[in-house]
Chain A
Amino acid sequence: MPTASATSHPSSTLSTSTAPVREKPLMPEPQIAAIAVEKAYRKGDHQVPVLHGVDISVHKGEFLSIVGQSGSGKSTLLHLLGLLDAPDVGEVQLDGQRIDDLSERTRDELRNRVFGFVFQFYHLLPELSLMENVLVPLMIRHSIWGYWQRRREYQDRAREMIDRVGLGHRLTHRPSELSGGEMQRAAIARSLVARPEILLADEPTGNLDQATGRGIIELMAKLNEQERLTIIMVTHDQLIAAEAHRTVKLREGRIEPA
């Protein structure tokens, strides 16, 4: 099977440039953007600055990869974009609207409906089976009664998603019974089952061997192409970063052109 991502590159209409506003007539507005965000962690008395004014914007259907040294603030940036944390300075915009200062309830809602998260360390819930783990976003979205009524539909959707990541034979297994690659694929299935608009993936291949990692990247590229899913992926691996439309580099909390 030919690699989907490789073939998709030339046909992509998206620019790989780091300057987002230049393409205004083509792409009127970025889907998600971080504007001059700064973030520092407070450790006792002194502050540990992590991000020093990062600007980043991503259009709908774009596949962006973020690279950078360990500790450069990649995960922190991703968390800010995905509303898992709030910036000290600057703002995060979704479709031109500021979202980082919304009420907690609305941010919960956005996390559930707009973003799909794949974590560096999978973060599956150990008490639940693979199937249930994948269903969690849908369970969170719907009330008990609403979920119960349409559970067949949702289960079918989850099963389909799990099939797509190639884990159809592992439905009832617990995370502890899965390998690292399988857990990562399960995490991807979970992040996609609720049909998010933006997928935020934090080193989805970091703990995997080359071949498995490549399989996962191919899956993401395919989703990006077929469903115009916006993907922002953090990675260490230059080869994997090359699969994206565009790569940005973080160094000591600042964006550098790749």
Chain B
Amino acid sequence: MYKLILCQRYLRTRYIALASVISVTLGVATMIVVNSVMAGFSGEMRERIKGVLADVVIETRSTDGEPDAESHKALVRELIGKYVAGVTATVEMYGMLSFEYGGQFIPHPVTLIGIDPESKSEVGPLVDYLQSYHAQPDGKEVTPAERPLDQKPGWELTASAIERRQRVAEITHQRAQMLRELKKQRHGEAGQHEPAPRGAADDPFAELDGAVQNVAMQDVAAIAQPQDGRVYIGAGLISFPHKDEQSGEMRTVFMVRPGNDVKITTATAGIPTGAYFDATVVDVFQSGMSEYDSNFVFCNLEHLQKVRKMIRTNEDGSESRAITSVQIRLKDYRDSDKVVELLRTEFTPDRYTVRTWEQKQGPLLAAVDVESSILNILLFLIIAVAGFGILAIFFMIVVEKTRDIGILKALGASSSGVMSIFLSYGLSLGMVGSGVGVVAGLLFVHYINQIEGIITIITGHKVFDERIYYFKEIPTHVDPFTVCWVALGAITIAVVASILPARRAARLQPVQALRHE
């Protein structure tokens, strides 16, 4: 009983000891915040990678692919039918994207993926990543979503895209007409005064002639007709952040918008040689993974197969279209190892690679794991340092209390009794420290976006720019296991730090202690 009372009194009368656990508190709070935010980020990132890649991916070794989509799908369903929630076949290849902006053509190396949007959206949340399905911030205003979320993704243009296309077509047509008029006039004048026609090199419009003639001859509707090639284009490829000098606000400038045309060249590899085609942008793809958003161009599968000459006519007249990869979504991702094993029996390694998305993105995920464990080790070292603070302060308290320890022993207190006073003292301080730390950490995590807002107001700097991370808010994920682990670790450190002083106190002889001044 005296142990409890004394322990409680020492706690109440020695606030300096509480100061020593503040470092524990801070350490615990920081660990919880850092872990939660990192878990939030990595969880969100994994979600996005998984969303784009699908659970399990079968890829052909050859860039020419293997025919055909249906037989692959059928084989997959035969092998692992009961685990499968969705299958889609795609064609993936490297290519070059170029588009016109400010009178210049801007090229970009890209990964070109031919997809069937409908089955692709069974495999991953495609619709979540297409901008036309979501309201888009545009400066201060917000453009409302153009398509309802329940609409299946396809290659149709939105109304605004059609309108934009129409406007572009009108301007193009007008310009072509004007040029033709100009040219006609010039030719007419030249015919009257100067019989010798001008050399092509002197004529600034000569090279345009063919195209202009073509465009000018067509009517506007024909020009406005979208291309056969349709693409969802990664947002990072066609946009850049821009700071408005006047308002100081950051906004994203899109160089290409749905309805515009882009040019795509596929890389030459194997028998189907490189192809070149124009495509109309149907939608902008934004997953939030910059690796994907600045690299991926999704194209309509049939068109890509056609221009890449991946369609072969069989003897019976039917067509077989080659594909290069099959994406599979599982009902339960925990079956993935079994599924990969099963698939490998038929999709043999000489022609295919079968991987889960985690295996495919292994290095990236491993890097994140390493980062988080290094951070944890560092932060835990901070708590350990706090442990030494506790050790020092406890020693001070034991020395200060030496006479009282002597009194207790003279009155019959056992060594273990005296030791337990200081151990429970350490335990309580550890619990208080880590308890407050846990609460503070959880509160911080819970209000992290508000806190971010306040810091932004105070410093005038945006701490967390959603344009960089594509998160509306800072993602967090509190793992109860981690919280318990951190709290227990901190308590253990406090108790361990109090063992030495407590043992010293317990070993004192009553008389020695009593005579201590």
Chain A residues 113 to 172 lying within 8 A of chain B, measured CB to CB, are 113, 117, 119, 123-128, 132, 136-137, 139-144, 147-148
Contact between B9 and A127, CB atoms less than 8 A apart: yes
Q: Does A212 contact B (CB under 8 A)?
A: no
Closest chain A residue to B4, Cβ basis? A144
Q: Which residues of B contact A123 (CB under 8 A)?
A: 403, 406-407, 410, 514
Contact between A136 and B415, CB atoms less than 8 A apart: no
Contact between B412 and A82, CB atoms less than 8 A apart: no
CA–CA, A248 to B411, complex, Å?
A: 26
A191 CB to nearest chain B CB (Å):
9
Closest chain A residue to B415, Cβ basis? A104
Closest chain B residue to A146, Cβ basis? B1
Interface string of A62-94 (1 = CB under 8 A from B): 000000000000000001001011000000000
CA–CA, A27 to B409, complex, Å?
A: 32
Q: Which residues of A contact B411 (CB under 8 A)?
A: 111-112, 117, 136-137, 140, 190
Closest chain A residue to B14, Cβ basis? A127
Contact between B404 and A141, CB atoms less than 8 A apart: no
Contact between A112 and B412, CB atoms less than 8 A apart: yes
Q: Does A108 contact B (CB under 8 A)?
A: yes
Contact between A125 and B407, CB atoms less than 8 A apart: yes
Q: Does B252 contact A (CB under 8 A)?
A: no
CA–CA, A51 to B408, complex, Å?
A: 26
Q: Which residues of A contact B178 (CB under 8 A)?
A: none
Q: Which residues of A contact B4 (CB under 8 A)?
A: 144
Contact between B5 and A128, CB atoms less than 8 A apart: yes
Q: Does A109 contact B (CB under 8 A)?
A: yes
CA–CA, A148 to B403, complex, Å?
A: 27
Q: Does B509 contact A (CB under 8 A)?
A: yes
CA–CA, A53 to B5, complex, Å?
A: 42
Contact between B5 and A132, CB atoms less than 8 A apart: yes
Q: Say whether, besides A123-B407, A126-B404, A85 and B412 are in contact (CB < 8 Å).
A: no
Contact between B13 and A84, CB atoms less than 8 A apart: no
Q: Does A24 contact B (CB under 8 A)?
A: no
A interface: dominant SS: helix
CA–CA, A147 to B403, complex, Å?
A: 25
Q: Does A105 contact B (CB under 8 A)?
A: yes
Closest chain B residue to A80, Cβ basis? B511
With a 10 A CB-CB cut-off, give which of A108, A147, A148 has the most chain B CB atoms.
Answer: A108
Q: Which residues of A contact B407 (CB under 8 A)?
A: 119, 123-125
Closest chain B residue to A86, Cβ basis? B509
Q: Which residues of B contact A128 (CB under 8 A)?
A: 5-6, 9
CA–CA, A140 to B416, complex, Å?
A: 12
CA–CA, A142 to B9, complex, Å?
A: 20
A37 CB to nearest chain B CB (Å):
14
CA–CA, A223 to B6, complex, Å?
A: 30
CA–CA, A143 to B509, complex, Å?
A: 23
CA–CA, A82 to B511, complex, Å?
A: 11
Q: Say whether, besides A85-B510, A119-B514, A127 and B13 are in contact (CB < 8 Å).
A: yes
Q: Does B469 contact A (CB under 8 A)?
A: no
Q: Say whether, besides A104-B415, A127-B9, A82 and B410 are in contact (CB < 8 Å).
A: yes
Contact between A84 and B408, CB atoms less than 8 A apart: no
CA–CA, A117 to B412, complex, Å?
A: 10
Closest chain A residue to B513, Cβ basis? A84
Q: Which residues of B contact A144 (CB under 8 A)?
A: 1, 3-4
Q: Which residues of A contact B408 (CB under 8 A)?
A: 125, 136, 140
Q: Does B2 contact A (CB under 8 A)?
A: yes
Q: Does B161 contact A (CB under 8 A)?
A: no
Contact between A140 and B404, CB atoms less than 8 A apart: no
CA–CA, A190 to B403, complex, Å?
A: 17
Q: Which residues of B contact A140 (CB under 8 A)?
A: 2, 408, 411-413, 417
Residues of A within 8 A of B (CB): 79, 82, 84-85, 104-105, 108-113, 117, 119, 123-128, 132, 136-137, 139-144, 147-148, 190
Residues of B within 8 A of A (CB): 1-6, 9-10, 13, 403-404, 406-415, 417, 509-511, 514
13 pairs, A vs B, C-beta closer than 8 Å: A85-B511, A108-B414, A117-B410, A126-B404, A127-B6, A127-B9, A127-B10, A127-B13, A127-B404, A136-B408, A140-B411, A143-B1, A144-B3
* Smallest CB-CB A-B distances: 5 pairs: A112-B412, A127-B9, A139-B1, A139-B2, A111-B412
